[in-house]
Structure 1
């Protein structure tokens, strides 16, 4: 555990019923002249953008909609939207979407006045400084991008995803309104929810874990384990959905204070090379990596059991508690019908060496894993999911 640690969070967070109403106050308080709205065409076609735009339009502010963004964008695709934002001359950013939308909006907030772009930040992420304030409105309960200083982009030439980390990208405002995820398809709710689950348990068991990150990671884990199934299975379970939103945010805060580990490190090639959705990639690797980590994380898993299991506790030893937690992760992934094998995505076994080489490049996250991951270990982990 770190001996020195810090906590950085968005300036203001609104949550609960009708929290979208705060959009009007935010726009007026910041004397916005022109608002850039980052979103994607899927959000628009689902009618989700209408909810926040009703409040935006009530202010009479000029608006520029930036929606030409594919899922899991490359750095050049993110740059295209950044360039459109620069041309718009907007003075405030509102992002309405999932992780890719929010990450691209965050990049725009620190690149608005610079000659360099996203590509340069791959090697020098701290180069840029925030020049435009941001409001994040997530439409999933999973990525936690509304809370983090990270922006994830695909790098095709490396067949990998890379996280650009810069504290300047932390949002100024966040709105967590469950109406934004009420109609979320179960498949997406499941994948993004397990992504949040991975964030929580990875941050709690990482080398950089500390008293600040533990508070948020444990609370997130408790809320996710006890709400994710209901939130995904029942379209009307608004309380569970709101708790998942809050848990996703908490897990994002934990990332900022601690960081993810080998689950995310080894999942990056799955998105970068095979375009497997980020949450699904993490779900595939979650149980294998947790089982690999169990010998050195046993006490942490037991602590998580004591916190997250309510009612009668049947496990008494540290070993029993640890095993129970891993089996719970496994049950959730199975119940939510998330694939657990790369064969579902036609990933050939002959690509094993490519996966290992790419995964081992993500040293920023592998170094945070409590159990050292060697090239041979990565090979064995990938073999389990091929």
Structure 2
């Protein structure tokens, strides 16, 4: 028997009015560092959190760029170091939470973000964190991962250290009630990619399978309603849960070639992470299908109630077609041409994608340079 383990946040709160738990979580804190961005603050979402922090000193860090570089992350962390805060709350999407998690292990002057790129394990946690996601997608609230862009490599790189697993998480659907459609769609498909990749990963375990399958079922049966109907609060709550479950699956297993090949698209061309994953999702799953067919059939059995398909081949084909239908229904771009990328960029993309061996080794079917080239060509 193989060995496997699972590490998750120590406390997770969800459901109606779950933001009320903030008071109990921070009751012993004197000064709180609140990580967010100006878009979140401008939308009034931060007020939902600050209203729970009466009597506690709060310092706000809102100069957080979308898709941050390692140096931009370091700049925010350097500012945070001077705050003398004793607790971190992150209110935002993946980038906000990722930088907040980095801050929790980089408060020292002994090392910085670039040092963590080379050796993530030198990071030691020195301050507790609460994650409050404002998208239902990245799963950062559950993972030990922080993704930053490395400019000179034109690539996004994951810093992975178990010390970055958040201490507390609040999943309150009110935080995504008015999320713009494009962001809801892209982040929702990001969570979908997490779930299906982790379930079909070489490193999958009974723990990751449990969370990945539950996430898949929730996403496939809720994502369109949650994105298209601002008042569909039950569907939105289900998506918050699904994104978290998929994040737990990442922690226990790991994503595969979809994410590996999407990272250069974000790092070099600044394509939003969820969009780049949506582009690669169907091509990679079709590529993997011959070796993942039994798993895709099992996923079909979980997510489709009283389904008509009876063979593994048909069930597997249905699952891949469904992934494509979701991307299409949510109007997510599937061609690199929309971002000015063409065949002259192919060699660079292939080289960068093949460098993401941290994830490619998880893929059940080996991806060669020729395979990567063919996969990128499908979305040219």
Q: Secondary structure at the match of 1:8?
A: coil
Residue aligning to 2:369: 375
1:16 is matched with: 15
**Displacement of 1:115 after TM fit?**
2.3
Measured after TM superposition, the shift of residue 347 of structure 1 is 0.8
Matches within 5 A, 1:84-163: 84-163=79-158
1:1-41 deviation line (CA, Å, top 9, x unaligned): x811100000000000000000011111xx10110000001
Alignment of 1:61-76 (within 5 A): 61-76=56-71
Give the aligned CA root-mean-square deviation in angstroms. Answer: 0.7
Deviation at 1:112, TM superposition (A): 1.0
For 1:1-386, what aligned pairs fall within 5 Å after superposition?
A: 3-28=2-27, 31-56=28-53, 58=54, 60-310=55-305, 312-386=306-380
- Deviating 4+ runs (over 6 angstroms): none
Q: For each residue in 1:48-97, what CA deviation from the matched residue of structure 2 results, as whole angstroms up to 9, or x when unmatched?
A: 111111111x2x11111001011000000000111111011101000000
TM-score relative to the length of structure 1? 0.98
Q: Deviations over 1:304-323 (max 9, x none)?
A: 0000001x311000000000
- Whole-angstrom distance in 2 between the partners of 1:133 and 1:291: 42
In 2, distance between residues paired with 1:351 and 1:206? 28
The offset of 1:348, in angstroms, is 2.1
Cα distance in 2 for partners of 1:205, 1:105 equals 30
Give the drift of 1:131.
0.4
- Partners in 1 of 2:321 and 2:123 — Cα distance? 43
Question: How high is the TM-score relative to the length of structure 2?
Answer: 0.99
Say which is worse superposed, 109-118 or 86-95, in terms of deviation. 109-118
Alignment partners' CA distance in 1, 2:291 and 2:194: 18
Q: Deviation of residue 349 (structure 1)?
A: 1.4
Q: Which runs of 5+ in 1 are unaligned?
A: none
In structure 2, C-alpha distance between the alignment counterparts of 1:349 and 1:336, rounded to whole Å: 27
Q: Per-residue displacement from partner, 1:281-333 (whole Å, max 9, x unpaired)?
A: 000000000000000000000000000001x3110000000000000000000
Q: C-alpha separation between the residues in 2 aligned to 1:328 and 1:128?
A: 41
Cα deviation, residue 116, structure 1: 1.2
Q: Deviations over 1:339-358 (max 9, x none)?
A: 00000111121000000000
CA drift of 1:114 comes to: 3.5
- Equivalent pairs counted in the alignment come to 380
SS of structure 2 residue aligned to 1:55:
coil
